[in-house]
Structure 1
């Protein structure tokens, strides 16, 4: 990856007969076990992924710290607002975001059929969602995080939310894994 070599990692090989790779028009999937070894940027405006080689950090934007839970290999992020700290995961492989019903504070939900296409195949669900959920409010309105559709999932355990890439539409996310932080621009 870039000028880096990766050793002792599991890969899913693209096969001509695999429908998933044809439908998604992808060559492969990079898991968090590999991504956590690098500092990287995802730019949803340019539809790009880039390894960050230089050590200059962007700090004047939404700066979110994270830690790893004892029983989890994925980073758990934390952000504070309204006298409440929110813990969440970022699922770079999901186009949808999810939240538990207890965190929606009696908001009105809409029922919708969704189609999920992922590593485990295609799945059709009937689920509830909430429109225009304000996940993070900033003094500077452009830095606030508004999720157009967030879906109900009561299987998140103690997690406040799992944020898919729809949360970061028209944004850039900088994952500074070595420093233990992300920056959302």
Structure 2
């Protein structure tokens, strides 16, 4: 690394277009790139919108992400928490032909139902209530139940998310909720 002080020009990026080569060579941009690449799920670098694109395709991946957020809609919860649950599902689909078929056909059926009801694929329906209507008409399927089960156990059984949900964790080893948490209830 050079001890040379950067020039004023390299310290400040103007609003002009920048080529990919210029972006990569710019030290500020390079640090930003490393920061973005360092953000991964469970040590795996993955885009939340394309967590399984190599296995089931980009459209199905995006659809499952939107579906996941519609089934358990925590608007302030980052995509990475949903992604870390969907990533193992995609990896399993890589070796499990039945699971891969369930996911691909499930998304196709979801799109079919969305098109019948709203003339649009599921991910292109802007109104969340309309997407939920489609899901309610499909909730008894094996596909829906598979996604719902993975999300439920993954989101609500994650100790790192418990504080976000306002859950302090198990109390039995601390003498029960009378001794831990009961006095903190402010909604009764």
Fold equivalence (TM over 0.5)? no
Bigger relative contact order, structure 1 or 2 (CA pairs below 8 A, ≥6 apart): 1
TM-score using structure 2 length: 0.20
Greater fraction helix: 2
TM-score using structure 1 length: 0.20
Greater fraction strand: 1
Q: Highest Rg: 1 or 2?
A: 2
